[in-house]
A and B are shown apart, each in its own frame.
Chain A
Amino acid sequence: MTHTLVIAELHEGHVRKSTLSAVTFAKQVGSPFSILVLGPGAKTAAAELTGFGAAKVIASDDATFAQPLAECYAPTIAAVAKGGFDVIVVTASSFGKDLAPRVAAKLAAGYAPDISAVKVEGGLSFKRPMYAGNAYGWCKITTPTQVVSVRQSEFSAAEPSGGPSPIEAATPAAADAAAARVEFVRLEAAKSERPDLGEARVVISGGRALKEKFAEVLEPLAGLVGAAIGASRAACDAGYAPPELQVGQTGRVVAPQLYVAIGISGAIQHLAGMKGSKVIVAINKDPDAPIFQVADYGLVADLFTAVPELVAELKKPA
């Protein structure tokens, strides 16, 4: 093992907290690591990453990285990686999932996607959830260079330690020819006061049962406890909640201290995204709903009366 390269993700000029999960992975691997920060504001954001014990933080806010497109980022990541790195890691956000395979292909490297653990003895082995979290597989990458994406919910955010790391400038490689054939038009994001799903201590999720009252019923509760709001696929498909709130096998994977499933039946695909939560609460009017099989506390009730009651109860002093 020589050197691990962590790919940071930026959001509005700051390092996303999810990046610190990839740093945790690098620390577990144990060899020296460096962090590569690309994108608008990278040069200043790099300072946010100097306190984690990286050998160096390599940054560039070159115009090549103005838009968060894999075709623009992958060439530089691959070029930097070729300068002496043998493990490349990114957090398995939508940014990381889009980008990592493209980097792996450039490096003729094997890719272990969305891993939940790493074992170092005897060469790196990666544990990854499969079959909607109903099995785990341990795998090894057979190529000299290894690319990995890590599940944010399984690798806790690194705490500052070590450093300070020197900041170096990255030399941007030319974007792929393919970059000329893809154009970023805009990001449509619903403004929300709520914390990010991947980072919240409490997640309040709603299902199909909430209908058009999704926000009206859940917002007061989420606001009161500082929770992020999540949703089932059915709620997103029906347009009651925006798609980016979907929790599950094919949506966001969360593991908060407290997960409250409201009017959610508990399909396999939903459980895959929240089964790792510390405490699970389910509110459902059907006593046989599968969600109760994983809930620590279940309340059989009509959500339209139970949730306002819950808000009122929580407002009372403990």
Chain B
Amino acid sequence: MKILVALKRVADPDNANKIKISPNKIDTVGLEPKPNPFDEYAVETALRLTENGANTKQRIGEVIVVTFGPKDTEQTLRAALATGADRAYRVDATDDELDGDLVARALKGLVEKEKPDLVLLGKQEVEGDANQVGQLLAEYLGWPQATFAGSIKSEDDKALVVGREVDGGSMIVKVTLPAVVTVDLRIVSPHAVRSMHTKPDHAYQDGVRFAALMAIMAAKKKPLVEVKLAELAPDTALKIQYTAFEPPPGRKAGVKVKSVAELVQKLRTEAKVLS
């Protein structure tokens, strides 16, 4: 299976409360660049789908990663190559030049060029929290989509059985390839992904794999191609424009109560939220 994975660099999500907000800008200076967690999971998913579980060195198929970002986002791509991806694209653009719609239209351009069987994306990019690119791409391609995937099983590399995490539970769908799948958090649990070559009892480590030092060195030699945004999407007009930013309303710490009885008394008589 040939898989294209969209991977974005974000500012350290665990310190998102340290961003600096001015009316016309959000500044993430000082926060460590990290791969968008969902996209890191998408890369791990692609690797699991193109191996047999037991032998992680042998790729049965190909994994291509793509990011839209300035030159220094190549680090994020190299890190993905070090964990096992085969080659990479960087579409040269800054965040200000992009919206989800343009990313989707440009990805369509790349899909037409590379003809992957599957495009894997994160369900959401944790800076913009939009949750849209995968669905937009699927529509632009006229492909089926399986969003919020918590599990994926490939029976014959022609169709995937996907467990989608929806509000009411898990919705099982079967998509025939080529298709677009966006991944949710549970996709990196030990039994969540099974390629057609994975033994039924195989258990992966929980979470994403780390790159060995040798692999980091080797990744420097893997192909990484830069492309211009306009080459993939001739129309680079944006459909969304941000006009202002503001901080969230603050919330102050309240009081510590000394006992369960005091808590109940306060909830009944002071907060009046319990009868």
Contact B243 A135 (CB under 8 A): no
Tell me which residues across on chain B come within 8 A of A79, comparing CB atoms. Answer: none
Partner-B contacts on A (CB < 8 A): 11, 68-71, 74, 93-95, 97-102, 104-106, 109-114, 125, 128-143, 176-179, 181-190, 196, 198, 202, 225, 233, 236-237, 242-244, 246, 249-250, 252, 257-258, 267-269, 275, 278-281, 287, 292-301, 306, 309-310, 313-314, 318
Query: Across the interface, which residues of A come within 8 angstroms of B144, CB to CB?
Result: 71, 178-179, 181-182
Inter-chain contacts of A318 with B (CB < 8 A): 268, 275
Residue of B nearest to A259 (CB): B273
Supply 8 further A-B pairs (C-beta < 8 A) apart from A187-B166, A242-B169, A250-B185: A106-B139, A132-B16, A136-B245, A137-B245, A142-B237, A182-B146, A297-B267, A298-B255
Contact call B126/A138, Cβ cutoff below 8 A: no
User: Are B245 and A135 in contact, with the CB atoms below 8 A?
Assistant: yes
B243–A140 touching, CB < 8 Å: yes
Within residues 169 to 205 of chain B, which ones have a CB less than 8 A from any CB in chain A?
169-176, 179, 184-186, 189
- Chain B residues within an 8 Å CB radius of A269: 13
Q: Known contacts A114-B131, A137-B242, A182-B176; is A297 also within 8 Å of B123 by CB?
A: no
The smallest C-beta distance from A235 to any residue of chain B, in angstroms, reads 12
Hey, which chain A residues are within 8 Å of B123, CB to CB? 250
Provide the bound-state CA to CA distance between A184 and B261, in Å: 50
Is B17 in the interface zone, CB < 8 Å from A? Answer: yes
Alpha-carbon gap, A136 to B23, bound state (A) = 10
Say which size band chain B's interface belongs to. 35 or more
A299 to B170, CA, bound (A): 35
A309 to B148, CA, bound (A): 38
Selected contact of A243 from candidates B124, B142, B161, B186, CB within 8 Å: B186
When A and B form their complex, which 5 residue pairs have the shortest distance between CB atoms, in order from nearest? Answer: A110-B239, A189-B169, A101-B135, A296-B254, A105-B139
For residue B111, CB closer than 8 A to chain A, the reply is no
Given contacts A97-B131, A178-B143, A268-B16, contact A300 B256 (CB under 8 A): yes
The residue from A106, A250, A299 contacting B263, defined by CB atoms under 8 A apart:
A299
**How far does the Cβ of B15 sit from chain A's closest Cβ, in whole Å?**
8
- Tally A-B pairs: CB < 8 A: 273
Query: CA A134 – CA B169 in complex, angstroms?
Result: 28
Quick check: B101 and A111 within 8 Å, CB to CB?
A: yes
Can you list 13 A-B pairs with a CB-CB distance of less than 8 A?
A70-B135, A111-B101, A111-B132, A142-B239, A178-B142, A183-B174, A184-B171, A188-B169, A190-B169, A244-B167, A258-B273, A268-B15, A293-B253
Task: Given A111-B101, A133-B248, A138-B244, verify A297-B254 contact (CB < 8 Å).
Answer: yes
* Complex alpha-carbon distance, A301 and B259, angstroms: 9
Do A225 and B274 touch across chains, with their CB atoms under 8 A apart? yes
Please determine whether B139 and A101 come into contact, CB atoms closer than 8 angstroms: yes
Q: Taking A136-B246, A188-B172 as contacts, is the C-beta distance between A278 and B273 under 8 angstroms?
A: yes
B175 touches A244 (CB 8 A): no
Q: Contact check, A298 vs B186: say whether CB atoms are below 8 A apart.
A: no
- Interchain CB contact (< 8 A) of B239 among A98, A109, A225: A109
Chain B residues lying within 8 Å of A236, measured Cβ to Cβ, are 185-186
Are B174's CB and A187's CB within 8 A? no
Complex interface: chain A residues within 8 A of B260 (CB): 299, 301, 306, 309-310, 313
Cβ–Cβ contact B255 & A95, under 8 A: no
B26 and A135 contacting across the interface, CB-CB below 8 Å: yes
Decide if B231 is an interface residue (CB 8 Å cutoff). no
Are A105 and B248 in contact, CB atoms less than 8 angstroms apart? Answer: no
A134-B17 in contact (CB<8A) = yes
Cα-based distance from A202 to B128 in the complex (angstroms): 29
Given contacts A278-B273, A309-B260, contact A134 B130 (CB under 8 A): no
CB distance from B129 to the nearest CB of A (A): 6
**In the bound complex, do residue A102 and residue B138 qualify as a contact, i.e. CB atoms below 8 Å apart?**
yes
Taken together as a complex, chains A and B put the C-alpha atoms of A301 and B263 apart, in Å, by 12
**Chain A residues within 8 Å of B136, by CB:** 101-102, 104-105, 111
Given contacts A139-B240, A182-B145, is CB(A132)–CB(B135) below 8 Å? no
Asked if B61 is at the interface (CB within 8 A of a chain A CB), the reply is no
Contacts of A186 in B (CB 8 A): 171-172
Chain B residues in 8 Å Cβ range of A74: 139
Q: How far is the CB of B155 from chain A (nearest CB, A)?
A: 12
